[in-house]
Structure 1
Amino acid sequence: MNDVCRGLIDTQAEHLLAGYRSENPFFFATPEHTLLAQGQHATVPQAKNLAALSQVVDAVLKKARDQGHPNPIVVGAIPFDARQAACLCIPQQVLYAGPLSRRAEAVSPRAGAFTITPQPAPQVYADGVAEAVENIRNKRLSKVVLARTLELAAAEAIDVQCLLERLARRNTHGYTFAVDLAGTGQGTLIGASPELLLSRRGLQVRSNPLAGSAARATDAMEDARRSQALLTSAKDLHEHKVVADAVARGLRPYCRTLDVPASPALIHTEAMWHLSSDIRGELAHPQASSLQLASSLHPTPAVCGYPNEKAFELISQIEAFDRGFYAGMVGWCDAQGNGEWVVTLRCAKVKGRSMRLFAGAGVVAESEPESELAETAAKFRTMLNALGLAPEGVL
């Protein structure tokens, strides 16, 4: 692509980002393109589980086409617990452009702009990790992901559009999103996820599971040391293998071919290093939509654990809050079955003057409570940096 075309695409993407408002149902930026949904043609009725939801979405898309909608797609978010209500709709229209350019600007520190309350308290979270490790060592399960939250309160309404722009500028290698949780009374779901759950383009499918993480360092030599330590960490390699194997198992029944890397690679965000497996395949049949494929993987051991049922049960026992849309999936699916769904990570719910941030860490037999606590603190930095906050002492 020549520079003139690239400049045109970048300009169009800038306009979509600048044009976002919190009442828009959906914004989605990836390394390849930018989407902005406007208006609402129809809402997607609730379903009892993900299999039923895929069927409902297919029916709603068909009805929209029959009604003359020129390009119906479903957009929105699905909770961690798929028994809870999803927030999906068909917009009146979706505007498309190429990728956003990275123009991250330093955000001035805002001391005192927010009050921050960890939920649960850091020591309570560490105690929960210790409880999980005991369960794992007693062979009840091999991995569980435990999360915690930060409750932020501001003196004035939080500027969602400004926050989205800052996240998008710093996350051009990942997936930045905003979903209007209209009808739920929960405000806006906003985030900058590094993890692609599932994309489908024609017969080509891709998943990029991440598991095994290390915080970035400001010193270049220390940052490089941490990345290499992660790449050779037996604990993190085991944690990653559990996730990559589960994703491969979930996709194989649908695929004619599936390419799974023998070992993970390193990727990074502004705040974290991650172990990454780029899994690609070709569908055996075109009937499986991106939502159906993503639903077959959700929730992966990267956000729940393994075995899934036992991990889900332990999360319910230890975590004293409802994850809601955190660790769910957010994305889109069109009438041809193409689409993208990412894991709802590095995210927050914003409503008026309040925000709730979420972060989790994978716990295995070798986990140390203080290390997992530190990992969640590092993951909070994605959102805190965009807000101009660096409250290390309270995390």
Structure 2
Amino acid sequence: MKYSEQINYAFEAKKPFVAYKNPNENKVHVIIQKNDELIEFDDFNSSGYVFAPFNSDEKAYLIQPDLYFTDEVKSFEFDSEFIENKEQEVEKSTHINIVKNAIKTIQDTEVSKIVVSRKEEVSVSDFNLLEVYNKLMSKYPNAYVYVWYHPKVGLWMGATPETLLKVKDGHFSTMALAGTQAFKGNLNPVWGAKELEEQQMVADFIKQHLENVVESLELSEVETVKAGSLLHLKTNITGKIHQQKDIASLVKLLHPTPAVCGLPKELSKMFILENENYNRSFYSGYLGNINMNNETSFFVNLRCFQFINNTIVLYVGGGITAESIAEKEWEETVAKSQIIKAVL
């Protein structure tokens, strides 16, 4: 069975499923659960596919791998269409006000970074799940590209550049990912002080929280990576863990990452929950396989959207520091939403 047939079958039969493509891989993995039971995830010894929200006080879910397939991905050709951004002044002023509030909070308190996000709704009359998924895979070859569905929760799709945690044979890897600029043909651009500082904050946070918990902790040099038409700064982080139960500890330490929440984590998270004026739900949560083929592989749910009643709900955000300029932060979220709109 081809992955397209598997996805269509599961979606039409209203069976929980997930299809995903790993970064720089040319095959799609499909996991289908035979019944429509909504299984809550709270045990890191379980096996299956995890879909967890930003706020760990909310419920995470597990899709059981009753059926598991892999299939080669073909190359796709799509026309690139420009989608006009219909800027809403109310939305813009609301976002800018929250960003200004975040900057003031950073200046007045010990908080050094807050990630401020927003959602945007786009009406679609003829949403084609497979076509959009294929476009995402074509546009983001080096991202983790997924479509997740449960009849009792809904349909989510995305192409994330950020690994939360990978564990295999006692070795783990994660990354510090921060800073954003548009790709203009140069993979070695000049980065500003704000982006470099933001990246250093994230790397320092992960190092500080992991060095007393794991062994052989190593951080790579900072590199520029491309995700669609955006560039980011990334540090690869590796080490060793002792036991299976350490995975739960690492996830608790890392999630939500400074790239989607801020620093210090609890204070920035409190600001987000009190000021963003909407529920992030699974946006900036994490997702991926747990204990499948002796491996656990979680990604941060970025560059994602939800499909509800002929409406696409996009989620975009940006890291705010003391150096941020509110208007530019708004423009960054517009650029990020345009990238997602280009595949719809």
Q: Return the TM-score normalized by structure 1.
A: 0.78
Structure-2 separation of matches of 1:181 and 1:153? 21
Select the residue among 39, 44, 48 that pairs with 1:74.
48
Select the residue among 157, 161, 181 that pairs with 1:194.
161
Partner of 1:50: none
Matches within 5 A, 1:306-317: 306-317=263-274
Structure-2 separation of matches of 1:239 and 1:353? 37
The answer to whether the Cα contact below 8 Å between 1:290 and 1:333 also exists between their aligned partners in 2 is no
Matched AA of 1:376: T
Structure-2 separation of matches of 1:295 and 1:16? 33
Matched AA of 1:273: L
Deviation at 1:352, TM superposition (A): 3.4
Select the residue among 236, 251, 254 that pairs with 2:195.
236
| Corresponding position: 1:208 with 2:191 | no
Structure-2 separation of matches of 1:331 and 1:291? 14
Structure-1 separation of matches of 2:86 and 2:133? 20
Partner of 1:260: 219
Alignment RMSD (CA, Å): 2.6
Q: Deviations over 1:118-166 (max 9, x none)?
A: 696012111211111111111341000000111112234x212211111
Structure-1 separation of matches of 2:71 and 2:204? 34
Select the residue among 275, 293, 297 that pairs with 2:233.
275
Equivalent position SS for 1:366: coil
Equivalent position SS for 1:332: strand
Among the aligned pairs, what percent are the same residue? 23
Partner of 2:289: 332
Equivalent position SS for 1:229: coil
- Structure 1 residues without counterparts, runs of 5 or longer: 1-11, 48-52, 62-72, 388-395
Select the residue among 7, 13, 19 that pairs with 1:27.
19
Q: Cα gap change, 1:205/1:362 in structure 2, threshold over 3 Å: closer, same or farther?
A: same
Q: Cα gap change, 1:173/1:353 in structure 2, threshold over 3 Å: closer, same or farther?
A: same
Structure-2 separation of matches of 1:336 and 1:286? 17
| Corresponding position: 1:286 with 2:247 | no
Partner of 2:69: 95
Matched AA of 1:39: Q
Matches within 5 A, 1:1-395: 15-17=2-4, 19-21=6-8, 22=11, 23=14, 24-30=16-22, 31-32=24-25, 34-40=28-34, 45-46=39-40, 53=42, 56-58=43-45, 61=46, 73-97=47-71, 100=73, 103-108=76-81, 121-156=91-126, 158-184=127-153, 187-217=154-184, 220=185, 223=186, 227-230=188-191, 233-261=192-220, 263-283=221-241, 285-288=242-245, 290=247, 293-334=250-291, 338-387=295-344
Structure-2 separation of matches of 1:272 and 1:386? 15
Structure-1 separation of matches of 2:337 and 2:124? 17
The answer to whether the Cα contact below 8 Å between 1:87 and 1:181 also exists between their aligned partners in 2 is no
Structure with a larger share of its residues in strand: 2
Q: Return the TM-score normalized by structure 2.
A: 0.89
Extract structure 1 runs of 4+ deviating beyond 4 A.
Answer: 41-45, 108-111, 115-120, 289-292
Q: Cα gap change, 1:337/1:296 in structure 2, threshold over 3 Å: closer, same or farther?
A: farther
The answer to whether the Cα contact below 8 Å between 1:197 and 1:209 also exists between their aligned partners in 2 is no
Q: Cα gap change, 1:117/1:373 in structure 2, threshold over 3 Å: closer, same or farther?
A: closer
Equivalent position SS for 1:172: coil
Deviation at 1:41, TM superposition (A): 6.4
Q: Cα gap change, 1:208/1:118 in structure 2, threshold over 3 Å: closer, same or farther?
A: farther
Q: Deviations over 1:6-31 (max 9, x none)?
A: xxxxxx9xx32564233451111112
The answer to whether the Cα contact below 8 Å between 1:41 and 1:90 also exists between their aligned partners in 2 is no
Q: Deviations over 1:357-387 (max 9, x none)?
A: 0000000000001111111111113311111
Aligned positions, number = 337
Equivalent position SS for 2:118: strand
Q: Cα gap change, 1:43/1:371 in structure 2, threshold over 3 Å: closer, same or farther?
A: same
Matched AA of 1:198: L
Deviation at 1:179, TM superposition (A): 1.1
The answer to whether the Cα contact below 8 Å between 2:32 and 2:64 also exists between their aligned partners in 1 is no
